Every structure is written in C-alpha cells, then in structure tokens.
Amino acid sequence: MSGQKIAIVTGAGSGIGRACSLGLMKAGFTVVLTGRRKENLEETAKAGKEFGQSLVVPSDMTDPSSIAALFAKTAEAFGRLDVLFNNAGIGAPAIPLEDLTLAQWQAVVDTNLTAPFLCTQHAFRIMKDQKPQGGRIINNGSISAYAPRPLSSPYTATKHGISGLTRATSLDGRAYNIACGQIDVGNAATEMTERMTAGVKQPRGDTMVEPRMDVQNVADALVFMATRPLDANALFLNIMATQMPFVGRG
C-alpha cells in the first residue's frame, strides 16, 4: 500500500462523478466509487479498468448509517484516505417557490448539504489519524453557489451553503494538514444538462439554448485540484462554458 493514493468520489456512477473518477484513476489514484446504483458504478469501474484501480461501494447519501459504512469500508480496505470529492447532488422540480413542499426542500438539503457535511466529518476522522496526517476535500459547488437560476431555491440555497462549508472546512482543517476547496461547474455536457439543448428558461422569462462544454474539462480541473501538494490549495475554481449566460446580465 506504500505510496498508494486513495480517493472517494460520491455520485460516481454518471456525469461529472464518472468523468472525475476516471480522471483520478488515470492520475494514479485508487478510487472508491460510490452512489445509489451499483450497476452504474460498475460501469464506471469497467471504463477505468485499463488504466486504474477502483472499489465499488454503493451507498445512500440520505442515510447517515450508509455514509458511515462507506467510510468504514474504505478505511478497512486501504487504511487511509487522501481525497474526498463531495460530488453527489440533486435538484427539486422547477416550480414556483411557494408551491414547493417541505419534503421536496428537505430532500435537496439532505443530499446536497447534509451528506457532504457528514462525509467531511468521516474524512476528517480518518485524515487526522493517519500517517502522514492530512488529506484533501473537494466540494462540488456549481455556478449556483454564486447566482440562481429561476425556480431553483432549494438547489441554490444548498450550493451557497456548500461555499460556507468549504470555507469552514478549510479553516478547521489547517491544524491537521487537511485542505479543502470547491469546484464550481457551469454547463458541463452530461445527462443532467441534456435538457439545455432544448432551451433553458431565463430570468427575463424567455427560453434560450445555452452553450455547454465537454465534461472532460471538469475532470481535468478536478485532477489539478486533487494533485496539488498539501502546502497548496485551490480554494475556489470555476470551470464553465465560455459563452453561457453567467457573467454580466445574461
């Protein structure tokens, strides 16, 4: 196990999570692939088999005991953890704020904010106790950590919350050589953003087709963050489609 680097990626079965898992494997990490759907995780593992190692551990990010089991299994298998990528996330239906149910709100908060907090707690415990001490935690923030889309209050609120968690984790991690940063992605071409090809509602009320970028750009940026020496940290890194309506007034 000497010199082996271990990473956990949540939401590793598709989209950004799969691309980043493969990127980390290519960069020499052994990646613990986690998410709800075992078959999707196994597809990621199969795609990366030729150039890296992985371990499939299905988990439910809304279940604290499932999260605890994920980290226990990682510690048992490898004895350490070098990188945690808190990537898994969901949105609520795009309906008026006043029509959202409490259950819809709580589902997004549980997955997008509470789960990364719990994962961070477990990562801290492992990273504090291992030798050499320390590690890196990277949170998936999103452009929504800065500016909302219409009809997206739960998602936007949790992503703003992730920015606070990133800052607090970065501060609290200093004493243990634990670095924390955030990657904020805008319009990566994945299954989740496929709807953009048919047009996305804009704040002024019209609909427009928004430019997207290859998800490999996200994987490359994530690997850059993950492979910095622990005396350096990319606290916030924004990678976005150049022509998407974000900068300025749309």
Q: Name the residues annotated as catalytic.
A: 155
| Cα–Cα nearest to 70, from 33, 37, 112, 43 | 33
Please report the sign of the dihedral spanned by the C-alpha atoms of residue 237, residue 241, residue 247, residue 250: negative
Which structure tokens are listed for 14?
């598709």
Non-local (6+) Cβ contacts of 232 within 8 A are 179
Judge whether 27 and 219 are in contact, CB under 8 Å. no
How far apart are alpha carbons 30 and 59 in whole angstroms? 18
